[in-house]
Amino acid sequence: MLALIQRVSQARVEVNGQVTGRINQGLLVLVCAEPADTDALADKLVAKLLKLRIFSDAQGKMNLSVADVRGGLLIVSQFTLAADVSGGNRPSFTGAAAAELGRRLYERVIATAQALHPVVACGKFGADMQVHLVNDGPVTIPMMLRG
């Protein structure tokens, strides 16, 4: 699975002008499933998100997790994370999972996060979304998990 994690002071996602998810302090997580990804890998992604120590402690060091700061998770599907631009100027997205698998794993990430964390919001799979965020730091971390 591929993810791009952004530490935010606030973020929201809109579909057709309607807010589908909103958080204050927390993590905006763009998620892309790949063809070989599994439920176990989706669960591993959520576990890593909840434990990732990228929030500042009292000494200003990145030492706290989203759970420690009681922040939110805003999870948004983003198949373009699998873009391959090595062959030319038009990206290829053949590295992304097929839509059915992508949707299932995206929904798995959301369900697992909701079972383990009190503040979880999300986008809408396959929709044209507008994502608004205030990146805190800025802190942006790419993550690639393999089975």
Q: Which tens digits make up the pLDDT trace of 39-83?
A: 999 999 999 999 999 999 999 999 999 999 999 999 999 999 999
**Which one is catalytic: 6, 25, 55, 78?**
78
- The SS3 call for residue 103 is helix
Q: What is the pLDDT of residue 89?
A: 94
Q: Is 80 a catalytic residue?
A: yes
Query: pLDDT > 90: what percent of the chain?
Result: 97
How many domains are there within the chain? Answer: 1
Q: How many C-beta atoms lie closer than 10 Å to residue 52's C-beta?
A: 18
Q: What is the pLDDT of residue 53?
A: 98
Q: What is the mean pLDDT of residues 90-114?
A: 97
Q: What is the pLDDT of residue 147?
A: 78
> Measured between alpha carbons, how far is 27 from 48 in angstroms, rounded to an integer?
12
Q: How high does pLDDT run on average in the chain? A: 97
**Which one is catalytic: 80, 94, 112, 125?**
80
Q: What is the mean pLDDT of residues 98-106?
A: 98
Q: Is 93 a catalytic residue?
A: no
Q: Is 59 a catalytic residue?
A: no
Residue 106 has pLDDT above 90, yes or no: yes
DSSP element (H, E) containing 2:
strand 2-15
Of 61, 62, 71, 83, the residue nearest 26 (C-alpha): 71
**Which one is catalytic: 6, 25, 55, 79?**
79
Outline where 87-144 has alpha helix (H).
99-116
Domain interval for residue 76: 2-144
CATH number of the domain to which 95 belongs: 3.50.80.10
pTM given for the model: 0.96
